[in-house]
Amino acid sequence: MARGKLRIYLGAAPGVGKTYAMLAEAHRRTERGTDCVVAFVEHHERPRTEVMLRGLEKIPRRELEYRGTLFTEMDVDAVLARHPQVALVDELAHTNVPGARNAKRWQDVEELLAAGVDVISTVNIQHLESLGDVVESITGVRQRETVPDEVVRRADEIELVDMPPQALRRRMAHGNVYKPDKVDAALSHYFRPGNLTALRELALLWVADRVDEYLTRYRSEHRVSRIWGSRERIVVGLTGGPEGRTLIRRAVRLAEKGAGGEVLAVYVARSDGLTSASPKELAVQRTLVEDLGGTFHHVVGEDVPVALLDFARGVNATQIVLGVSRRRSWQYVFGPGVGATVARDSGPDLDVHLITHGEAGKGRGLPVARGARLGRTRVLWGWLVGVVGPVLLTLLLMVSDAGLANDVLLFLTLTVAAALLGGLYPALASAAVGSALLNWFFTPPFHTLTIADPKNIVAIVIFVGVAVSVASVVDLAARRTQQAARLRAESEILSYLAGSVLRGETSLEALLERVRETFGMESAALLERRSDVDPWTCAGSAGPRPAGSPEDADVDMPVGDHMALALSGR
């Protein structure tokens, strides 16, 4: 049996006309010959709503006694036995009386839908579970009856019943919502213009998000790759550099100029894992974009411009914000850069903004020393083999005639050895020194840089090419080994720290002590403050002389909005 369909009338507040709209829809369907019944509708003694109930078949309610009082609830068994095409069920978030078939009315509705009965229901925005805290902060009233957002989100149709705050207040003043003795209190408390405006905005935004979800699903199902600019959605491309904060703030200002603008910050990491941004800076930028109402995303891609454009088109973005390249002028010989490539390939439906910043043209900073991956001793031996080795080999070959082909192979062997020991730079030096010595001592005419035989030119060129290729491959392998070791160390540390919690070491000081020991630091402190302008206070520490602020620490890492982990003594 096919599952029934759920249609929900969503309102910003009581009295906007949800039940009236539901009953009007029931009359339209009945006139078209649809088998439609009233499973449970509460008219709250509102005359116009009560009139709309006339002419519709009503399923008798079930009576339940609770604490000496008689209550009525929807009779799920009777509705299932009647099995109409459409059942009207009012107040989806209602809590049933103890002893009823289910604890919540939305659970009753789920049974009807599972039985193949279409259901039309109503709910107010303040009854959505995820908005409970927001509604309480606006109205001062905590909603005890809630419905999970997922229940409403799964509805096949959601229709917003909208009404301006002043119109709703006039309706209340005329006695169309509450009895006359309750009108004044309602208008001066829950139904104040500010409350109604805020609740209306919540309802509009929530429904807009659901429409956006449907649009995304539709574009995915129909494989629509072209961007539909239904709303301003701005993607910020981050590199992990300090200019990211400037880009995020600029994107937020652009989003504020359009109604319902949305900001999505994305960091594209290379899939080979060989280049990575500062985790600390990315954490700061994640906090910043979330504080400003945006979202942070981490994407892995082989080609950064392609991955960035795929992400932007996947989320139906309308604009991309990128920073002007930090590359130096001479580095453009290697390609146009990410910004220029994205602007070139974005197409007519996606605007690209290149934002200037203080880091433009300054380069990407000094790379991590390659020798740090192999160790100082290995690098030293690599330079000795790469520079001194060819000289000693030349002296040895000068007293013997091995032939140019064998000479090239022997020099290549030294270059490979230099690459294995010291990495890229010693190997490149070995290739340069070896090719010069081969040219000077072993290719006619001797003791000149001129090469008479074209075959010898080819031999030396091949030697240099093979030497450079082998050196690059060995260096790449060393980098990947270092990256794998780093990831393994990170996973071991996380496992170790998580294990300390699972073993019962749940105090903050015990966890900080584990962190201090793991990283070999002198002290570790968790700092917190109420706001960005308040002084830092120590929530917990381990080790002597903990840092009093992140600036005093050797290593600091943001933790949430107003907390930081400060490590000292490295």
Q: What is the domain range of residue 14?
A: 6-218
At residue 205, φ and ψ (nearest 5 deg) are: -65, -40
pLDDT of residue 447: 76
Which of 477, 499, 530 lies at the terminal end of a domain, its last residue? Answer: 477
The reply to whether 343 and 384 lie within a common domain is: no
Q: Is residue 213 part of a domain?
A: yes
**What CATH number is attached to the domain comprising 73?**
3.40.50.300
The reply to whether 391 and 524 lie within a common domain is: no
pLDDT of residue 501: 63
The reply to whether 282 and 402 lie within a common domain is: no
Q: Which helix (H) or strand (E) holds 462?
A: helix 454-502
User: Which residues pair with residue 10 across a beta bridge?
Assistant: 123, 160
**Can you say whether the dihedral through the CA atoms of 405, 407, 412, 417 is positive or negative?**
positive
Q: Is residue 492 part of a domain?
A: no
pTM: 0.50
**Contact by Cβ (8 Å): 128, 149:** yes
Q: Is residue 483 part of a domain?
A: no
Classified as helix, coil or strand, 402 is coil
At residue 44, φ and ψ (nearest 5 deg) are: 55, 30
Q: Which residue has the tokens 């001129």?
A: 450
The reply to whether 163 and 30 lie within a common domain is: yes
Which of 477, 502, 537 lies at the terminal end of a domain, its last residue? Answer: 477
The reply to whether 214 and 237 lie within a common domain is: no
CB neighbours of 186 closer than 8 A, spacing ≥ 6?
Answer: 172, 177, 178
pLDDT of residue 220: 67
Q: What is the count of structural domains for the chain?
A: 4
The reply to whether 403 and 330 lie within a common domain is: no
pLDDT of residue 445: 79
- Residue 472, classified by CB atoms within 10 Å of its CB into exposed (0-12), middle (13-18) or buried (19+), is middle
Report the alpha-carbon distance of residue 493 to residue 478 in Å, rounded. 22
User: Which residues pair with residue 197 across a beta bridge?
Assistant: none
Q: Is residue 365 part of a domain?
A: no
CB neighbours of 450 closer than 8 A, spacing ≥ 6?
Answer: none
The reply to whether 432 and 540 lie within a common domain is: no
First to last CA, the chain: 67
* Residues shown for the chain: 570
pLDDT of residue 121: 96
**What stretches of 370-448 show up as alpha helix (H) in DSSP?**
371-374, 376-383, 389-398, 404-422, 424-437
The reply to whether 60 and 134 lie within a common domain is: yes
The reply to whether 255 and 345 lie within a common domain is: yes
Which of 308, 330, 355 lies at the terminal end of a domain, its last residue? Answer: 355
The stretches in the chain having pLDDT less than 70 are: 212-213, 216-220, 222, 224-230, 258-260, 270-278, 328-335, 360-375, 449, 452-453, 455-456, 482, 485-486, 489-490, 492-494, 496-506, 514, 517-520, 570
The reply to whether 444 and 380 lie within a common domain is: yes
**Contact by Cβ (8 Å): 427, 415:** yes
**One-letter amino acid identity for 251?**
A
Q: Is residue 442 part of a domain?
A: yes
Q: Is residue 491 part of a domain?
A: no
The reply to whether 154 and 188 lie within a common domain is: yes
The two structure tokens encoding residue 107 = 């659970």
**What CATH number is attached to the domain comprising 278?**
3.40.50.620
The reply to whether 32 and 107 lie within a common domain is: yes
